[in-house]
Structure 1
Amino acid sequence: MAYATTVQRHKTKEIGIGDLPVGGDNPILVQSMTTTNTFDAEATLAQIRRLEEAGCEVVRVTVPKKEDVEGIKAIRDQIKIPLIADIHFDYRMALACLEARTPSGRRAVDKIRINPGNIGGEERFKEVVRKARDAGVPMRIGVNSGSLEKDLIEKYGFPCPEAMVESALRHIETAEALGYKQMIVSLKASHVPTAVACYSEYAAKADYPTHVGITEAGSREYGTLKSAAGIGSILLRGIGDTIRVSLLGDPVPEIDAGFDILRACDRRVTKPEVVACPTCGRLDIDLERIVAEVEEKMKNLTNPLRISILGCLVNGFGEAKEADLGIAAGSGKGIIFKRGVPIRHVLEADMVQALLEEVERFEEATVPLASFVEKEKKKQAKSGLPVLN
């Protein structure tokens, strides 16, 4: 369904992570991070495979010591998605990851992530940049409000957006001076307004792709809501080329949460969106049951449709018309709309099956809207259904 309000995407460079292009006009990717010890290759591999099954497109693993470098060597050949090495404090781990090869001879990592605030200073950063440049491996410059460089804290007094953006820009400048331009940038904070301001200010000054997230978001329920508020606000400014919903515990739920945020913001729709009216005194069908059944039956579909299920006739007709497919119902019966045109009467008992049939047939509606409307009006005039003007 076309909407008058669209978000203009922040134009960024295109950077390759393994076989995946990031930035430019490419899809916004959903990534996650393992919670295992990377040196335990078997456990880490098992978790990555669960993430892959959930739809994860890029995965990050922590590499704080030499044993973890051996772990990534064993893992990379056995997974399908790009592998990122997460580096903190010890720049030598970044160098080791950039040199590491798998048993098949391929590079063990597709990208490294470093934190400028704890990598050990400019000279060590430069050494990592040179190695990444020579290896042809991209790097994420991951600025974090909780570990900003000491001189910037002294300059600004606290990790404000201006300080975080300055950290990112000066590291970009250093890397570019060494002939390296394969960078992705993140400016993460746990405070949502700070994170939104950081990404907004960065996007006005640079065009390297961004990885977006709210760090230390919290437990699964609150962390998802907090991430939706923060990541969603940033996405709706057109900013973001990869995202991660950072939740406490098992990382697999992060994937559905990430795709749901993208879908809600209309930035990347990979399955149907079901819209339902809230429960109120006007409701006179079992809307909760119908919506739950529709969502369950469509959970594996990839049609990027907006489906509206409205349980009364007060707003139902108008709102159902705004969706690709919609039902306006009341008193145990309703009307199904396709692209704003009423196409069939249904009883409450038949609504789910009828809607699923229309989802399967939806490709038939790809003719120009004006032609489709005229055709349907003629059909409705014969059937006795109301004809929309």
Structure 2
Amino acid sequence: MTHENTRQVKVGNVLIGGGAPVAIQSMSTFNPVNTEYAAAQINALHEAGADIVRVAVPDKKAAEALKALREKVSVPLVADIHFDYRLAITAMESGIDALRINPGNIGKMENVIKVVDMAKKVHIPIRVGINAGSLPEKILDEFGGHPTAEGMVEGALTHVRILEQEGFRDIVISVKSSDVPMMVKANRILADKVEYPLHLGVTEAGTLYRGTVKSAIGIGSLLLDGIGDTVRISLTDDPLKEVRAAKEILSSVGIQQYGPVLISCPTCGRTQVNLIDMAKEVEEKIKRFKKPIKVAVMGCAVNGPGEAREADFGIAGGVGSGLVFRKGKVIRSVPENELIDALMEEIEKFETEGEN
């Protein structure tokens, strides 16, 4: 089942699956009880581009605090619940937009039915989430005694069947692992077995650099296959960086573009400018622009405009002066220390006036 053909569910005002844009998710690092801090962080995540934010709900006070938190943020919220079905009930009463639970770990079937019945009543979707590191012993024994992609899929389907038995199908599924090949394989298997939208992520991916690389490989591979309806980049870092990484991945695979994309060449013996600092400065400055354009920073005037002819705007460094170009054609030659300002002027004109 590909992204365009999955069932569609609604999380607050965000559609997931059925050809809807791939939704970016992140997770607050604050307990909902710390309402002001949590709200400030969640609003910042939304402003940065998060479509949905998940919050951990470890106890009754946290579940009850969701009501006040819900009133302070506009982005859809997902309550992350484990073991205690009563927290799921309270979270829904508090106005949460979706649940992340595993039906098999919240107690007796009668308790699962209580959660499902209420979710049906208030139209709350449920994400069934399976992590390779927390598979039940029964599943591990069945699939060789260690985590496998096949075991992850079976674990997810076991929980999904519980919901389906109660006539519930507003479901999103995730099968995550810190092992990238296992995560990719599990999602490919799962996509052939279910019609539900899939939430993609490499769990416990690591710190900023390593975690972004692992996530880009795993999530990017699946998105290029047409698999995946919503993503979360799991980094041991500020969650704002998760959102930025997600936007870069979606832009890089050609699914969605969020504002300008930077193209820059590696340095070489022809480079006569401080290309690294120049590229970093341009990358920072173009964040304020909204239109989905490509901006190039090239190291030399000899090959710059030609090699970056697909860029909407760009600059190429030189000795004492450089070129400003657009779609491969030079439009200005300016002193080296004015290159970046000249580039910003051209983009600013395009932003405010549109393309002639």
TM-score by length of 2: 0.89
- SS state at 2:65 partner: helix
Matches within 5 A, 1:219-238: 219-238=207-226
Match of 2:296 among 308, 325, 335: 308
Q: What is the CA–CA distance in structure 2 between the aligned matches of 1:324 and 1:14, rounded to whole Å?
A: 35
**Counterpart for residue 186 of structure 1:** 174
Once the 2 structures are TM-superposed, how far is the Cα of residue 187 of structure 1 from its aligned partner?
0.8
The one-letter code of the counterpart of 1:273 is V
Match of 2:137 among 142, 150, 156: 150
Once the 2 structures are TM-superposed, how far is the Cα of residue 365 of structure 1 from its aligned partner?
8.0
Sequence identity of aligned pairs in percent?
44
The one-letter code of the counterpart of 1:60 is R
**Counterpart for residue 381 of structure 1:** none
Name stretches of at least 5 consecutive residues in structure 1 with no aligned partner.
1-7, 102-107, 368-389
Once the 2 structures are TM-superposed, how far is the Cα of residue 202 of structure 1 from its aligned partner?
1.6
Q: What is the CA–CA distance in structure 1 between the aligned matches of 2:182 and 2:103, rounded to whole Å?
A: 18
Q: What is the CA–CA distance in structure 2 between the aligned matches of 1:192 and 1:119, rounded to whole Å?
A: 28
Once the 2 structures are TM-superposed, how far is the Cα of residue 191 of structure 1 from its aligned partner?
0.9
**Counterpart for residue 276 of structure 1:** 264
- SS state at 2:239 partner: coil
**Counterpart for residue 307 of structure 2:** 319
Q: What is the CA–CA distance in structure 1 between the aligned matches of 2:329 and 2:335, rounded to whole Å?
A: 18
The one-letter code of the counterpart of 1:182 is D
The one-letter code of the counterpart of 1:37 is N
The one-letter code of the counterpart of 1:280 is C
Deviations along 1:250-306, whole A, 9 cap, x unmatched?
A: 423322222222223322211111111111212112323332332232111111111
**Counterpart for residue 61 of structure 1:** 55
The one-letter code of the counterpart of 2:124 is V
Change in CA separation of 1:121 and 1:315 when aligned onto 2, cut-off 3 Å: farther
Q: What is the CA–CA distance in structure 2 between the aligned matches of 1:362 and 1:49, rounded to whole Å?
A: 29
CA contact (8 A) 2:103 2:163 kept: no
Change in CA separation of 1:152 and 1:334 when aligned onto 2, cut-off 3 Å: same
The one-letter code of the counterpart of 2:60 is K
CA contact (8 A) 2:140 2:151 kept: yes
- SS state at 1:321 partner: coil
Matches within 5 A, 1:307-386: 307-313=295-301, 315-362=303-350
CA contact (8 A) 1:161 1:195 kept: yes
Q: What is the CA–CA distance in structure 1 between the aligned matches of 2:35 and 2:274, rounded to whole Å?
A: 49
Cα RMSD for the two superposed structures: 2.5
Once the 2 structures are TM-superposed, how far is the Cα of residue 355 of structure 1 from its aligned partner?
1.9
The one-letter code of the counterpart of 1:310 is M
The aligned length equals 353
Q: What is the CA–CA distance in structure 2 between the aligned matches of 1:366 and 1:320, rounded to whole Å?
A: 19
- SS state at 2:195 partner: coil
Matches within 5 A, 1:1-80: 9-80=3-74
Matches within 5 A, 1:136-175: 136-157=123-144, 158-175=146-163
Change in CA separation of 1:315 and 1:340 when aligned onto 2, cut-off 3 Å: closer
The one-letter code of the counterpart of 2:26 is S
Change in CA separation of 1:117 and 1:265 when aligned onto 2, cut-off 3 Å: farther
Q: What is the CA–CA distance in structure 2 between the aligned matches of 1:125 and 1:159, rounded to whole Å?
A: 26
